[in-house]
């Protein structure tokens, strides 16, 4: 991601972002243009959204992909997770209803250009959300899903599922996903594993 020089308020960022052709994140007064995703990433995201929706049935939860913006706090991170689930009544930053405040589950599909950022800075930011119960990191270079799950005591428990024969339990929404389904039609290897980018934490 590339950073603009000028400092912006969250309100200025949202005004620019809503009129922009391409999406940008916001953190600490600056906008960061988001790098495009790979075809493999798009397949995995699509499989995740389909799998979670199928598992949820008629439960009062909504599943969206990366078009929905999430705000961690008013002056902090505004970003577009790969998959977001909100249950019961969604809460929004304003009447535009395009900036969600209360996700229960966030999923990011890792790539070489974003893995360190998603694992470190971004994951830590997400865990500040009072509503968030789980944050999942999904590899696109191997069959592996890592889960950070909030426990009743307030701390976070880590677990992972690896291999196409494994299953992943998303307790926040009561869903079980087979990794074979998450990675259906995915071919590992190739140029998609060699990308670089810039992030707010750089």
pLDDT score recorded for residue 199: 62
For 168-199, the pLDDT digits (tens) are 999 999 999 999 999 999 998 766 555 545 56
Considering the chain, what percentage of its residues have pLDDT values greater than 70?
A: 91
Nearest to 49 by CA among 107, 89, 115: 107
Q: Per mean pLDDT, which range of 31-35, 97-101, 102-106, 126-130 is the poorest?
A: 31-35
Return mean pLDDT, the chain.
90
Residue 108: its H or E element: strand 105-109
Other CB atoms within 10 Å distance of the CB of residue 136? 25
Q: What is the largest CA-CA distance in the chain?
A: 49
Beta strand residue intervals within 133-188, DSSP E: 134-138, 144-150, 156-162, 167-170, 175-178
Q: Are 107 and 82 in contact (CB under 8 A)?
A: yes
Measure the CA–CA gap between 170 and 83, rounded to whole angstroms: 13
Q: Which two tokens stand for residue 24?
A: 């940008």
pLDDT score recorded for residue 201: 61
pLDDT score recorded for residue 124: 92
pLDDT score recorded for residue 191: 61
pTM for the full predicted model: 0.89
- Look up tokens 């706090």; give the residue: 73
pLDDT score recorded for residue 75: 80
For 64-121, the pLDDT digits (tens) are 988 899 999 888 899 999 999 999 899 999 999 999 999 999 999 998 887 888 899 9
CATH homologous superfamily of 37-186 equals tt1808, chain A (3.90.1570.10)
Measure the CA–CA gap between 53 and 82, rounded to whole angstroms: 15
pLDDT score recorded for residue 8: 92
């Amino acid at each position: 991601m590339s950073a603009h020089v000028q400092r912006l308020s969250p309100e200025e960022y949202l005004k620019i972002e809503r009129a922009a052709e391409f999406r940008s994140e916001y953190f600490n007064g600056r906008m960061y243009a988001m790098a495009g995703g790979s075809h493999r990433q798009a397949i995995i995201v699509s499989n995740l959204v389909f799998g979670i929706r199928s598992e949820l049935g008629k439960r009062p939860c909504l599943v969206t992909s990366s078009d929905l913006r999430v705000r961690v706090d008013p002056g902090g991170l505004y970003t577009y997770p790969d998959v977001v689930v909100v249950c019961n009544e969604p809460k929004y930053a304003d009447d535009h209803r395009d900036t969600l405040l209360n996700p229960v589950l966030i999923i990011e599909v890792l790539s070489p250009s974003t893995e360190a950022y998603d694992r470190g800075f971004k994951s830590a930011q997400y865990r500040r959300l009072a509503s968030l119960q789980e944050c999942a990191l999904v590899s696109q270079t191997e069959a592996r899903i890592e889960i950070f799950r909030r426990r009743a005591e307030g701390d976070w428990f880590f677990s992972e599922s690896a291999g196409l024969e494994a299953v992943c339990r998303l307790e926040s929404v009561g869903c079980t996903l087979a990794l074979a389904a998450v990675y259906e039609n995915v071919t590992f290897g190739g140029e998609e594993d060699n990308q670089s980018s810039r992030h707010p934490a750089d």
